[in-house]
């Protein structure tokens, strides 16, 4: 009985220690025609399947950090998707803006895609991410 409890306790501790919070700083080239691809994106993985993202536009609109809508993190890649809703432009246009970031860990390459719903705007940027 005591041996069973020790094994279960050991497995529980191993499972909880393998999940940890991590922070990536991603740097991108190609800012998009309207600066929609931030030169730096901070991704804070909370270790519980969620993440917060800070980029230039989320800071500019006073919404940073933004909760990720989708998070995947494994040995091969880290993927996050986040959205700013009801962003009003300097011309008074309202839009929902969404970004998708994919970081291929072994290749050390990152790709960021921007989309404005209801508009034909799609921008991309390439770069890399590093653990902080």
- Domain spans, the chain: 20-131
**What's residue 17's pLDDT?**
42
User: Contact at 8 Å (CB) between 84 and 68?
Assistant: no
pLDDT digits (tens, 9 = 90+) for 53-97: 999 999 999 999 999 999 999 999 999 999 999 998 878 889 999
pTM (predicted TM-score): 0.82
**What's residue 89's pLDDT?**
81
Q: How confident is the model at residue 20 (pLDDT cuts 50, 70, 90)?
A: confident
Instruction: Spell out a b/e string for 80-89, using b for 16 or more CB atoms within 10 Å of the CB, else e.
Output: bbbbbeebee
**What's residue 63's pLDDT?**
94
**What's residue 60's pLDDT?**
92
Of these ranges, 5-19, 30-44, 113-127, the one predicted with the greatest mean pLDDT is: 113-127
User: Contact at 8 Å (CB) between 57 and 36?
Assistant: yes
Which stretch of 8-22, 38-52, 84-98, 118-132 has the lowest confidence by average pLDDT?
Answer: 8-22
What does the block give as tokens for 43? 């991704």
Rounded CA separation 26/126 (Å): 10
**What's residue 1's pLDDT?**
53
Average pLDDT, the chain: 86
């Amino acid at each position: 009985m005591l041996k069973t409890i020790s094994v279960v306790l050991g497995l529980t501790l191993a499972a909880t220690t393998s999940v940890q919070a991590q922070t990536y700083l991603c740097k991108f080239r190609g800012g998009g025609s309207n600066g929609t691809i931030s030169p730096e994106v901070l991704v804070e993985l909370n270790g519980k399947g969620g993440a917060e993202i800070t980029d230039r536009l989320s800071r500019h609109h006073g919404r940073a950090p933004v909760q990720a809508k989708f998070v995947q993190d494994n040995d091969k890649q880290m993927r996050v998707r986040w959205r700013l809703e009801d962003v009003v432009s300097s011309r008074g246009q309202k839009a929902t803006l969404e970004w998708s970031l994919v970081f291929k860990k072994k290749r050390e390459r990152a790709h960021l895609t921007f989309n404005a719903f209801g508009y034909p705007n799609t921008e991309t940027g390439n770069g890399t991410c590093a653990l902080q």
